[in-house]
């Protein structure tokens, strides 16, 4: 298994301003605190669940 198959790249495409507290906390937990910031995360069930909660605010790149 190579490195790219067990990581996810995620970008924040919409702001968390005005969103419910739970969604803002998920964004903070994912370390997405700036617009267009791209982060690389391990591909785990927990991370995928967090991404699903804010799927309308983020974009998964190169999956």
CATH at residue 52: 3.30.1390.20
Model confidence over 3-59: pLDDT tens digits?
557 999 999 999 999 999 999 999 999 999 999 999 999 999 999 999 999 999 999
* Containing structural domain, residue 48: 3-61
Q: What is the pTM of this model?
A: 0.85
- From 42, 45, 39, select the one nearest 59 (Cα to Cα): 39
Task: Report the domain count for the chain.
Answer: 1
| Cα–Cα distances in angstroms (integers) from residue 39 to residues 7, 18, 20, in the given order | 10, 22, 22
């Amino acid at each position: 298994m190579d490195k790219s198959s067990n990581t996810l790249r995620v970008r924040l495409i919409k702001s968390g301003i005005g969103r419910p507290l739970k969604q803002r906390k998920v964004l903070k937990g994912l370390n997405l605190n700036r617009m267009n910031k791209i982060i690389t995360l391990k591909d785990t069930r927990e991370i995928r669940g967090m991404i699903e909660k804010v799927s309308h605010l983020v974009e998964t790149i190169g999956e």
